[in-house]
Homo-oligomer: A and B are copies of this chain.
Amino acid sequence: MSQKVYQGPGQALSKLLYDGMTIMAGGFGLCGIPENLIAALKESNVKNLTVISNNCGVDDFGLGLLLQSRQIKKMISSYVGENKAFERQFLNNELELEFNPQGTLAERCRAGGAGIPAFFTKTGVGTLISEGKEVREFDGEKHILETALTADLAIIKAWKGDKDGNLVYRKTARNFNPIMAMAGKVTVAEVEHLVDVGDLDPDNIHTPGVFVQRVIQGEKFERRIERVTTNE
């Protein structure tokens, strides 16, 4: 096999970054985000990014770091409520924002990865989301046409990964990671445990390696929790 394993996030992103590019970032809130690769993006100082991610981190962690450093030009998200820098930049017109219903966002990514350029959905019919979109009835119900999303680069976090790029996620840290892995022209994954080919159960690989071009063992994982909530 060609070598997919890279040493550290900086090397894993080398020669992939350019100003104005589109990047998908997996994760839901702070759960399952590619924290090492986000840190490397910040370090690279690549600018004018369009970032496709369900959320935009918090002020001092996750994608919020790239807001602080003003590397993001536009976000495509379903919910961005947890971030003051976001609000400030958006209200100052320093940041573009495209809201997608969460399921539409997920399906657009999956479609981009699966070679489906557009699909109809009933989500958003009769709302602001349908403005400017084709509306068509199927079985007497209105649906709107949504287009696929792809990205120049997808950054992904998995629990385990092997040297062929096969990935396994843990619990709800799976979320957008597998579908964004499919939709990246280049997909780079950081994993908590890099294992040998053959160590993962072939019946239970969530992202087949064909979708992953580069993989790194993450250096450290803070795995910060946004809202610790307990029964006490």
Residues of A within 8 A of B (CB): 107, 111, 114-122, 136, 138-139, 141, 143, 147, 168-171, 174, 201-204
Contacts and interface: CB of A to CB of B under 8 A. Distances in A.
B117 A143 contact: yes
B143 A138 contact: no
Contacts of A115: 121-122
B120 A114 contact: no
A53 to B, nearest CB: 22
Nearest to A141: B117
Nearest to A110: B114
Given A116-B120, A117-B143, A168-B203, 7 more contacts: A111-B119, A117-B122, A117-B139, A118-B120, A118-B136, A118-B143, A138-B147
A191 to B, nearest CB: 15
Contacts of A114: 107
A141 B204 CA distance: 35
A149 to B, nearest CB: 13
Query: Do most interface residues of chain A lie in helix, strand or loop, or is the interface mixed?
Result: mixed
A185 B122 CA distance: 18
B122 A119 contact: no
A156 B143 CA distance: 30
B169 A203 contact: yes
A141 B148 CA distance: 14
Contacts of A202: 171
A211 B122 CA distance: 20
Contacts of A139: 117
A171 B203 CA distance: 6
A106 to B, nearest CB: 10
Nearest to A150: B139
Nearest to A111: B119
Nearest to A170: B203
A197 to B, nearest CB: 18
Contact of A204 (B111, B119, B122, B201): B201
Contacts of A143: 117-118
A129 B139 CA distance: 22
Nearest to A174: B203
